[in-house]
Amino acid sequence: MAQRGNYHTKQYQTILEYMETIPGEHVTVGDLHERLLAKGSAIGTTTIYRQLERMVDNGLVKKYTIMTGLPACYEFIGSMPEDEENPWFHCCCESCGKLIHLHCGELAELGIHLKNVHRFSVDPKRTVFYGLCEDCMKKKEKEENKEWLY
């Protein structure tokens, strides 16, 4: 009999197969529940949460808790390499809560600079830049332009 940690249920397999189709995208348990329902898979949110945590433990998925009050996001990473010269950073929109995955060489250079010059090692998994996403910037600019009209 397989060890419990290695046993993959039908639900685990369904969730994993879906997550594999959206690498680099961040989803909440609620998002995933809605998407799976739309595809005809009626898996409960508790089961989705439990299976995602198993995937996190197995190194297939990363979990991000970015802002207090917002649900955790999950991202399928599979076998994508991550190291000091190939880190992942994130931007979080303070208006809508959107989480944007960044893979940027210039930010990697910043991390290397901080380590070499300032003797500070940044953890890119926990490094989040806060601001406004493109959609919220446009919305804000539109609202500011309306104020000028009055």
Specify the CATH number of the domain 1-78: 1.10.10.10
| Dmax (CA) of the chain | 73
pLDDT in tens, 57-74: 988 998 887 777 778 889
- Identical fold between 1-78 and 81-150: no
pLDDT of res. 144: 83
Q: Which of 38-47, 48-57, 94-103, 129-138 has the lowest mean pLDDT?
A: 94-103
Instruction: Write the DSSP assignment of 114-129 as a string of letters.
Output: HHHHH-----GGG-EE
pTM above 0.75? Answer: no
Question: With 50 as the cut, is the pLDDT of residue 45 above it?
Answer: yes
Give the homologous superfamily in CATH for domain 81-150.
Ferric-uptake regulator, C-terminal dimerisarion domain (3.30.1490.190)
Placement of tokens 């940690």 in the chain: 5
pLDDT in tens, 78-120: 866 555 456 678 888 888 888 887 777 888 888 889 999 999 9
Q: Parse the chain into domains and list their residue ranges.
A: 1-78, 81-150
3-state secondary structure of 84: coil
Please report, to the nearest 10 degrees, the dihedral formed by the alpha carbons of residues 15, 99, 120, 78 taken in order.
20
